[in-house]
Structures are given as structure tokens and as C-alpha cells.
Structure 1
């Protein structure tokens, strides 16, 4: 049995630990709890205090995880600006996107003013940008973001959460949109369901993708090619 792939996966997970503030916080809280259990024998007050701090730390981390997971689905939308997570807003007018010869729908978009092409992927939970696009658009990894692992042709890679201040295509404008910086995408970018689910509707008619924001302006259409 070849154990090399297993050890490679373990090594990748270990290297990803310092990149996750939430994971480091959870490990630190559990360590404090273990220390409290040891100290409890000699100093009950200090031991209980350390275990209480450990429990409080784990509860706070769980709350942060729940808040961030809720942002991936518009049905559980929570805007928490004080935690550095702005409200995700998608508004504008109807936009139509013609089917490309490769069988996909591609958008000519702007990420914080930087032009980039995005493929619409209804199977993707989150919008994803390549490292090149992230660098050009000045997207910074979110501190304390949920660890994200992506399976690519080259194996499982670590992706980092980020936030797009302004994302435009056609007549649609999104603000505060969550995304991931995905090294496995190469030069590609993907629009995921966290944007599509915030539209009033989206459908395909005659090989044309029709995107209608909740604040759509009647009669305002912008074809995408």
C-alpha cells in the first residue's frame, strides 16, 4: 500500500493550519481547557476560570462559523458589519447573457474596477476568483475566515475567503460579495450560487441566460457576449 498520498494530504492540512485564524483559535481554546483540567487539582478557582475561558472561546468561534456559513445562502442572510462582514447586496437591471460556443455562460465583469471574465456555475456554492484576478483587484484574504478546501485536477488545495467590495456585469451590481481566492482555477473565475440566489430570478431561454435582480428596472436590459 502506497502511503505517500496520505502523508501528502496530512502535510497539506498541517501547512494550512496557520492560515486559519478560526482553527488556531479553536486549538488554543482547547489547550486552555486542558490546562485548566490539570490546574484544577492544585487551584480549583484558577482551573475553573481557565476551563470557563476555554468554553467561552469555543462558543465565540462556533458563532463566527455559523455567521459566515449563513452568508453562503441568501435565505439565512445576516449582515454583521461590526465583525467585518458587510451586507451582500445584488441590485440593478435585467441582464441577458448569450451561450458561448464552449457551452458555458460567460460574463464580462469588473471586480473592484478590474475587468475579468467569469463563468456562471450553478453547481458552485461560492463565487471564486483566481489568484491573478485577486491580485489585480486588490482582494485580501479574510482574517478569521472559514477554512476552505477545494478539489482540483492537481489534488486538494487550500482556498482563502475574501470579500469583493464592488462586482459589476451588464446592468447588475453586487456589493460586499463573499468569494474565495482559488489557486486551482488557473486563470478562470466563477460566479456561484451566493450571487445567483440573491437575484429575484434567473433562467435560461433560447440559449440565453436571463438574470433579474430584486431591484430590477423594467425595460433595462444589457446583453452580454
Structure 2
């Protein structure tokens, strides 16, 4: 199987199975690149000493949410940190009361409006996930929790988010299995492996769904990705052994699949993230942070200038959400970008500063979605398959 992927695939629109409005081949958290946020900005601390925020409580009680959020945005621009923190606390407390009263739809409306003004607010996204779950929109709840996890950094918060994701996925998978909806299970696990490529259990779920749909070769590729995992590796290898007699043609040594599809590419840890070496066509190597929340690969202006990278200006620009707010930046096109032996041709990139982060950019889903991939966190390896 060729490892050179020609052309550009940003995201295939539509799930076809009701994964509300998000992409099957990429992260549901956003159709926009998400630039990593420094910890001191990512997760707001508890409010400071209380102050008076005129009329906000009354607006919330009357469900005048748009007016309440206009007041909040005015405070962001004109008031001090204490007043803004108090207003935030009032808004989130009101959302909690609505959820406790099972008034999920108003809670959703309030939190969506609040997140327009404070899109990186972790607690608001966790609450919005609860509102979605209360309305039995489990797909949307999972989405919000993954996005919250992208902005959180405290271990206790990350653990809480992870626990909720696992619980909701288990509930959703049981429901789909009970109705024997194997196509929906396949779509669910395809999505989860892209949202959380370091969680081997999602690949086992994917392989099980693929086998249920009699796609043995796809199941084999999924299992090979996690065959060395300490938690599920033994089970994956047992399933592979059962599959081997059914796939004798794959034992042909001329097939590149048996040798190269799970080659591990070394990664460097950076906190909760991983950095990988990437190579543009006829240029020096780049250090890119793997970001499954970014739909578009990002390079810094310095990387373009200093590494001798050839590119084409598309004449287009996009809005990128950064730690300092939305930024418009140009979109260029690279002839090719390679990670290990895997290459994507004609790859579009955004070009913007990443705030002295010490990396050359972000490796986004418009590269990664061309492949199946598993981040082996135990061995710090990126495993790719066709």
C-alpha cells in the first residue's frame, strides 16, 4: 500500500450517523485550529473577594441571558479582575442551579452564550456537557468534555474530565450495542481514536466494530497499532492470531503492510503533549507539537524563514483562536510534509506566532487524518498505519 497521500483532505463534512454537526475524520471539538494555551491562562482560578455586579443576578433569574452576557462582556472590557470573576461565578452558579432543576435547555443556552465570551473556560464546558447529557445528547457531551480537556491543565480537573468521558462513552456504546447499530459503533470509535489517540481501549472498540462489519483487514490494522500496549496488547495479539488464518494473502513478504504500517516514530514529551520531527520537501527538519484539536497544521513565520521551506501563498486567510484571542493569519501550501516515512502532498498550513513556545508549529489533523494513528505514551512513539 502506498504511503504517499496525494492531495489535501482537511475534514470530510458530516457524520451521516448524527454526530451532530462535526467531522467523522477529525476532531469534533472544532473546525478551527486550536493553539495550545499556557497554563496560567487556560483554567480560571476561583473568584476573588466578592464585589457587586449590578443587575446580573436579576437578568439571569429572568432568563435574559443575552443581556446578562452583554453585561459580562462590558465588565471584561471596563471592570477589574475581581468584578469579572464575581460575574463569572454568578453565571456558572446559575447554570448549575438550572442543571440541578433539570432545566437543561436554558442551561445550554446560557453556557453557549457565555463560552462565546470565554471560550477557554474549562468549568463552563464541563457544565455544558452536563446539560447535553441531561438532554440525552451524549455525542455533544463527549465533544464538550474533550474540548474542556484541551484547555485544562490541573491533574484533578483532567482526571474528572477523563472519568466523565469514559462513563458517557460506556453508556453510549451499551445503547448502540443493544440496538445492534454496528455502523454507529464504528463511527463512534473512529471518532474516539482521533480525539484521544493515546487511549488504546478505543482502538480495541474500533477493531471489534470493524470485525462485526466483517472488515477484517481494517480490524487487523487497528489491532496492530496497539499490539504492544501494556494494557490491551495481549488481547490485541490474541485477536490478531485468530485473524491470521483468515488473511493468508497478507503474509506475502512483498506486502509493505506487514513491515511498515506500525513503525514507531520517536516523540519528545512536552508536559501533556508530544513533539515530533517533521520534514517539509527539500528543507530542514521541524519540531511540531501534535495537536488533534487543530484542523490545520501551523508553522511559525520564523520556521518558514529560517528552515528554507518552499511554499505557495493561497491568497486566503483564516481566523485562529489563540491564548490572546482570535487572530487572522495567512494560509500557505507546502509541496509536501513528511513524518517518518509517511508523507502528505500539497498540505495547507496556517502561519502565525505561537508565543515563544519553543516549537516550530503544530501538526494538525489535515496531516494526521490521512492515516490511522496511535500515540504510544508508554514508549513515546507515534504509530501510523494507512
TM-score by length of 1: 0.49
Structure 1 or 2: larger helix share?
A: 2
Larger CA Rg, structure 1 vs 2: 2
TM-score by length of 2: 0.30
Structure 1 or 2: larger strand share?
A: 1
Bigger RCO (CA 8 Å, 6+ sep): 1
